[in-house]
């Protein structure tokens, strides 16, 4: 089993506050790396409470990953907790190609050498994701939601097919998110997408529900 972890806050009114609303505030306060490190620690602790065959994917900021001190800390946490790092899949969402591509690829290679898996999130939404794919063999790609919601659009579908073929040619696992109905499931399966995610596949679980499910 594999789960994507998403952090949400809950206001006093009970309303959910999504990452797109609170992360910009955290970053403006200069606390992005502190936040990412706290989340990473929590994910490792959660992973140790469930079946060892269960893997988790999650976002870490590219700015955190490019920081050598941050990397040392997550490597140290992983070693201290004795977690099988192949269970942890780091999702990258890059809108722009980093100005020092070679150095960044070295960083990704270092992360991979520690056993972590690396995924491109929102694949196909920018030229940057294609540029990275030319230079680095990712473990997984998660396609941009527009490809899933616009399966009836011939132009979008043609590009989507090309991206699937490109990924499979590089032996990269493919994931389609935002799958909400049977028609999408059938179309995506026929296109050869490896894994599907969305309300049409399963409902969201809270952390406590996930832990209880495996215990």
Angle 53-57-61 from CA coordinates, rounded to 5°: 150
CB 182 within 8 A of CB 199: no
User: How far separated are the first and last CA of the chain, in Å rounded?
Assistant: 15
Instruction: Using a pLDDT cut of 90, give the percent of the chain over it.
Output: 80
Handedness of CA 93, 96, 99, 100 (dihedral sign): positive
pLDDT number for residue 84: 98
Q: Output the CA–CA distances (angstroms, integers) from residue 19 to 6, 25, 136, 148, 193, in the order listed.
A: 8, 10, 28, 22, 27
Tell me the pairing of strands 55-59 and 2-4.
parallel
Name the H helices within the chain.
Answer: 19-28, 32-47, 62-65, 68-81, 101-113, 127-135, 145-149, 154-169, 182-191, 207-213
CATH class of 2-213: alpha beta
pLDDT, one tens digit per residue, over 95-129 is 766 777 888 899 999 999 999 999 999 998 877 88
Domain residue ranges of the chain, discontinuous segments joined by +: 2-213
Name the burial class of residue 178, with classes exposed (0-12), middle (13-18) and buried (19+) by CB atoms within 10 angstroms of its CB. middle
CB 170 within 8 A of CB 137: yes
Provide CB contacts within 8 A for 203, sequence distance 6+. none
Q: Which helix (H) or strand (E) holds 55?
A: strand 55-59
- Specify the range with the lowest mean pLDDT, choosing from 17-31, 52-66, 67-81, 88-102: 88-102
Q: Which helix (H) or strand (E) holds 123?
A: strand 117-123
Across 137-148, average pLDDT:
93
pLDDT number for residue 96: 67
Mean pLDDT, the chain, rounded, equals 93
Across 28-50, average pLDDT:
97
pLDDT number for residue 131: 83
- Specify the range with the lowest mean pLDDT, choosing from 58-62, 69-73, 101-105, 145-149: 101-105
pLDDT, one tens digit per residue, over 174-207 is 999 999 999 999 999 999 999 999 999 988 899 9
Distance of alpha carbon 98 from alpha carbon 102, whole angstroms? 9
- Specify the range with the lowest mean pLDDT, choosing from 66-70, 104-108, 170-174: 104-108
């Amino acid at each position: 089993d594999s789960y994507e972890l998403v952090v949400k806050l809950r206001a006093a009114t009970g309303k959910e506050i999504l990452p797109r609303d609170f992360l910009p505030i955290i970053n403006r306060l200069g606390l992005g790396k502190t936040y990412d490190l706290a989340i990473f620690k929590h994910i490792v602790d959660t992973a140790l409470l469930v079946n060892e065959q269960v893997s988790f994917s999650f976002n870490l900021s590219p700015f955190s990953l490019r920081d050598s001190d941050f990397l040392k800390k997550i490597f140290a946490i992983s070693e201290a907790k004795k977690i099988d790092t192949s269970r942890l899949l780091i999702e990258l969402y890059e809108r722009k190609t980093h100005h020092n591509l070679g150095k960044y690829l070295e960083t990704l290679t270092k992360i991979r050498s520690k056993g972590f898996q690396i995924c491109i999130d929102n694949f196909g939404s920018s030229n940057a994701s294609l540029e990275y794919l030319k230079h680095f063999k990712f473990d997984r790609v998660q396609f941009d939601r527009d490809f899933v919601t616009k399966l009836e659009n011939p132009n979008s579908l043609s590009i989507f097919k090309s991206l699937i073929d490109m990924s499979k040619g590089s032996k990269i696992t493919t994931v389609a998110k935002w799958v909400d109905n049977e028609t999408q499931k059938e179309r995506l399966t026929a296109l050869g997408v490896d894994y599907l995610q969305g309300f049409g596949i399963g409902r969201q679980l809270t952390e406590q529900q996930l832990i209880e499910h495996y215990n």
